Amino acid sequence: MKISVIIPTFNRAEILRRNLNLLAVQTFTDFEVIVVDDGSNDATPRLLKEFQSKVDFPLQFSSQKNSGQAVARNRALAQASGEIILFLGDDMLPQNNLLETHANFHQKFPAPNFACLGIVRWHPELRVTRFMRWLGRSGAQFKFDDLKQNSETDFWRFYTANLSLKKVFLGSEKFSEKFSGWGFEDAELGFRLAKKGLKLLFEPEAVVEHFHAISADSLAARQFAAGQNLVVFQKLHPEMALLPVGAKLFFQKLAATFLPFTFYGRAKKAFLAGIAEARRES
């Protein structure tokens, strides 16, 4: 049961170094790592050449002009030879039994349509602010606190920060390259797979630690991009009612207007602004 670990990266050489060092000490050893550098201008290319010559696991890497995570992951998928695809973020530092836990899951659930959603925690070296604690339970980035082991969840939590599935079930499906920036390209793939019968189960023992401090300002920029991408999602699937309209839009605007200094209000304001900008452009 070979695992292909797919990591898109952009300008995070030192965090990527830690990621690869932790992959080198995994308790499960039948795996390859495929890294696609999405146009980094830091030390990433040199780092990958260095690691390719010193690690025991097969490491493939390639570079592309900055085109986004969807393009990078698709490029890596075309090179993957494993039965299991494991998507990781470059800033997600794996515990040393991460791959073993994903492998055990797929042995326990061998049907092609079963996929494993691991958990994302803040790295203990980070100073976790009140905002970051809110972010971890709000769903604005991740949400795990309402899930239990082996509980099934929907395509909205097709989080490619720590998720594995069988390559045979993925088949010819790939990430839509119509998305740009941050947000929803993974959920949209999850939606298409759900229509094919995807069963996404939560495995809290598959742990990565998120080494990326996030502020309210940086989240606002992400939420603006997510709003733009939600419009793309809606265009790809016009049968879905994704965009806020009517009373839903009214109350979201109300929250953004009257809660401007709350984390929710700031995130919602940026999200609605991204939707409005995408609609104007189209």
Residue 137, pLDDT score? 77
For residue 13, name the pLDDT band (cuts at 50, 70, 90).
very high
Helix locations, the chain, DSSP H: 13-23, 44-54, 69-79, 98-108, 130-138, 167-170, 185-195, 216-236, 246-258, 263-281
Cα 4 to Cα 240: distance, rounded to the nearest angstrom: 32
- Mean per-residue pLDDT for 265-276? 78
pLDDT of residue 101: 98
Mean pLDDT of 124-141: 83
The band of 3, judged by pLDDT with boundaries at 50, 70 and 90, is very high
Nearest CA to 191 out of 204, 175, 177, 178 is that of 175
What local confidence, expressed as pLDDT, does residue 109 receive?
A: 98
Q: Could you identify the residue written with the tokens 């499960």?
A: 28
* Mean pLDDT across 60-64: 94
Within 8 A by CB and 6+ apart from 254, the residues are: none
Q: What's the confidence (pLDDT) of residue 261?
A: 56
Range 269-273 average pLDDT: 78
Instruction: Give start-end residues of each CATH 3.90.550.10 domain in the chain.
Output: 3-210
- For the cut 70, the answer to whether the pLDDT of residue 81 exceeds it is yes
Look at residue 219 in the predicted model and tell me its pLDDT: 78
Query: Do the beta carbons of residue 208 and residue 92 sit within 8 Å?
Result: yes
Q: What is the mean pLDDT of residues 23-52?
A: 95
DSSP annotation of 161: T
Tell me, what's the pLDDT at 37?
A: 95
pLDDT score at 245 = 60
pLDDT digits (tens, 9 = 90+) for 37-46: 999 999 999 9
Q: Which is the CATH superfamily of the domain at 3-210?
A: Spore Coat Polysaccharide Biosynthesis Protein SpsA; Chain A (3.90.550.10)
Flag whether pLDDT at 258 surpasses 60. Answer: no
Residue 1: its pLDDT value, please? 67
Average pLDDT over residues 55-79: 94
